[in-house]
Amino acid sequence: MGIRLIKIAVVYFVIGVLLGMYMSISHSYDYASVHAHVNLLGWASLALAGVIYHIFPAAGESTFGKVHFWLHNIGLPIMMIGLFLLMSGVEPVEPVIAVGGILVTLGVLAFLYNVFTQVKK
């Protein structure tokens, strides 16, 4: 679980950095919020969770670990693609972003429970 999350995180890192380069080169900062969340909810958060699950395999293999994995990894692409479309002017997509954000939030709550119950000395 940990290693899978680290690999997924690196993909978000590449997408986030490419978007940052695009904004810098084009001097168009419309996608800054997509860039920020791809980097922070994608790269940083998933890599950190991956490292935690690798150090504490009981947390990585638990039911709540799997629930966290799937909610975060289904919700985040929905939220990021939705936010990208919104920033491109597709306004009706807003509820889709909300669905993605709620899935990620539920995933993070599962992560909280998982860390508090499974991460031990």
- Tell me if 113 contacts ligand HEM by CB under 6 A: no
Q: Which helix (H) or strand (E) holds 24?
A: helix 2-26
Q: Is 72 helix (H, G, I), strand (E, B) or coil?
A: helix
- Tell me if 106 contacts ligand HEM by CB under 6 A: no
- Tell me if 111 contacts ligand HEM by CB under 6 A: no
Distance of alpha carbon 120 from alpha carbon 116, whole angstroms: 8
Binding mask of the shown chain, residues 75 to 104, with x at each position contacting ligand HEM by CB under 6 A: --------------------------x--x
User: In the complex with ligand HEM, which residue's Cβ is closer, 45 or 62?
Assistant: 45
* Rounded-to-10 torsion of CA 107, 73, 98, 29: 120
Binding mask of the shown chain, residues 11 to 30, with x at each position contacting ligand HEM by CB under 6 A: -----xx--xx-xx----x-
